[in-house]
Structure 1
Amino acid sequence: MAKERYYEPAPDHIDVAEFRKVVDSRRSVRKFTDKPIPADVLNDCLDMALLAPNSSNLQQWEFYVVKSPDKKAKLVEACLNQNAAGTAAELIVIVARTTSWREHARMTLEQWPQPTVPKIVQDYYGRLALFYYSQGPLGSWGLVKRGIAQVAGLFKPVPRGPFSATDMKVWAAKSVSLASENLMLALRAHGFDSCPMEGFDEVRVKRLLKLPKDAFVVMVLGAGERAKDGVYYPRLRFDRRRFVHEV
């Protein structure tokens, strides 16, 4: 008997022109009006952020929506008092985790959305994920894995990491950045705007939010309604031939 497969067809009739409008009109807005973002809108945007693709579905992200006026004032200061922070209706600290993968691997097996967990899923999250992402005390296991990959890579293609704490930060940041873009596009689709900020004092932000040791801040996102003078300059993009290559 043939094995029953899972199928999830893609929806039809997605309006590309409307999607392009969302993408084209997303700008880094530096100044917002005082209009609040409705709670249901913000929650919908955050839910769409959580639908982003991510490595091994281990969901390495956390979103801190800063509501406390005192914490918000301190966060604005930690963001160097930028207009994009000071005028934002909402400030969202987008965080990556490098150790939550272990708990999320366990949760995947516990919360699998079908009555039976496929063996390949059991094997991956029960054993292989431990091999891929564990680094060991002082990175010792990562060094062993690096050596194995260097030898095995002489004969066949092999994964080349993550083999260190630094590799794990890059690994986590990739997935969190995808979720951040989902969030920004969702805000734009709802008629609001955002500004992803890298200009902040991470030590102060981590202390303010009492983040765990393995967490690091990917960006602070200011969000709200675009002020008339909220976009400071026209968009500049270099010629696509500099970046798009057919090989």
Structure 2
Amino acid sequence: MELTEVIKKRRSIRKFSDKPVSRELLTELIEAAALAPTASNLQAWRFFVADDPTLVREIDSFSPGLSGHPPVIIAIASDLAEVERRGSKNSLVYGLMMDASMAAENLMLKAADLGLGTCAIKSYNDKAVHKLLNLPDTMRLEILISLGWPEGEPRTPRRKPMEDVLFWNAWEEPEKSTADRTPEEEPAKARKPENDKKAVGNQAAAARTGGAQAQQTETLRFDKKELQDLLIYMITSAAGLPGEPHMYGPLRLIESSRRLAGMLSAAYGGEVFGELTALIDAGKGRNMTDPEGFCEMLQEAAAKATELL
């Protein structure tokens, strides 16, 4: 396949088949990744290929950005000890992520050439993935890539026209007519207020329905493994959300996780569920008064949840 054709063919795949990927093909991908440019020829990236189904599933549980049940997950990490030894301080700040990104692109283009699908993400719990891959503290995770044989043909995403992204010599404001604007691009004051009221009403109705459903399900006995997996996912999602501007999201998510932990403890017993409940109860009140302490609690809870695996 010609390079231009490969570039056009590559897509972010979020649905994979059960067909396994051979280690021979996986080695080809890593060889392509390792040919990417690297600042000062540091070659500090390290590639960790998870193809054991149990390990893949565990990493997936702690990576909200992954979807489609990939058969393989590739972690690209940077060897900080190597960088320190070579004395490249600038690489520690920005070069390593750039190197990892270029290696990832090489890998994803080679995968597309072989008919494989990939999707690169940054949404994962760093401590949990470190623990699952048994990485030393001197390894910094940069990117996770889900990989496998695509199931179905992904849609072609809309791309911006060249006049919106290409500039010769200096910046010029792109011209855009009002007719070309999407509803999302319209100024907030131009939107109809009744639409906002309707959205608020829908949210209120959903909240009332959710509350009624919660009361009904509290008395039911759920499958332990399903609840356990959901608990892990919810805690990990909350741990990744504090970087967003709104802190209520993590607070509500961790509170939901705390209630699930209590339900699991009551239904099945288990020391870890009780420890999770106590940890969350002690730290959730820091959401507004001590954001750093709240974030530390979320990371501790995510690490504690790995003991359920």
Q: TM-score, normalised by structure 1?
A: 0.63
TM-aligned CA distance change 1:81 to 1:20, over 3 Å:
closer
For 1:33 and 1:210, how far apart are their aligned partners in 2? 28
TM-aligned CA distance change 1:23 to 1:203, over 3 Å:
same
**1:198 matches 2:122:** yes
* Matched residue, 2:265: none
Q: Which has the larger radius of gyration?
A: 2
- What are the within-5 Å matches in structure 2 for residues 98-247 of structure 1? 98-102=80-84, 105=86, 130=87, 133-134=88-89, 162=90, 168-228=92-152, 231=154, 233-247=155-169
**1:93 matches 2:75:** yes
8 Å CA contact 1:97, 1:172 repeated in 2? no
SS at match of 1:94: strand
Aligned length: 169
For 1:214 and 1:245, how far apart are their aligned partners in 2? 41
* Matched residue, 1:125: none
Shift in Å at residue 39 of structure 1? 1.9
* Matched residue, 1:110: none
For 1:46 and 1:68, how far apart are their aligned partners in 2? 17
Deviation string, structure 1 residues 48-98 (Cα, Å, up to 9, x no partner): 1101110011112111111333322210101128423x2x12111111233
For 1:55 and 1:223, how far apart are their aligned partners in 2? 26
8 Å CA contact 2:100, 2:143 repeated in 1? no
Q: Which amino acid aligns with 2:108?
A: M
Percent of pairs with identical residues: 25
Shift in Å at residue 190 of structure 1? 1.0
* Matched residue, 1:54: 38
TM-aligned CA distance change 1:63 to 1:72, over 3 Å:
same
- What are the within-5 Å matches in structure 2 for residues 38-53 of structure 1? 38-53=22-37
8 Å CA contact 1:51, 1:179 repeated in 2? yes
Q: TM-score, normalised by structure 2?
A: 0.51
* Matched residue, 1:75: 59
Shift in Å at residue 173 of structure 1? 0.6
For 1:169 and 1:227, how far apart are their aligned partners in 2? 38
For 2:13 and 2:73, how far apart are their aligned partners in 1? 13
SS at match of 1:83: coil
TM-aligned CA distance change 1:81 to 1:195, over 3 Å:
closer
Deviation string, structure 1 residues 160-209 (Cα, Å, up to 9, x no partner): xx2xxxx6142111111111100001111111111112221112111211
| Superposed CA RMSD | 2.0
8 Å CA contact 1:98, 1:172 repeated in 2? no
Q: Which moved further from structure 2: 48-57 or 210-219?
A: 210-219
For 2:4 and 2:28, how far apart are their aligned partners in 1? 20
Instruction: Kindly indicate whether structure 1 or structure 2 has the higher relative contact order, using CA contacts under 8 Å at least 6 residues apart.
Output: 1
For 1:95 and 1:182, how far apart are their aligned partners in 2? 15
- Structure 2 stretches of 5 or more lacking a match? 170-309
* Matched residue, 1:150: none
8 Å CA contact 1:95, 1:219 repeated in 2? yes
For 2:7 and 2:65, how far apart are their aligned partners in 1? 28
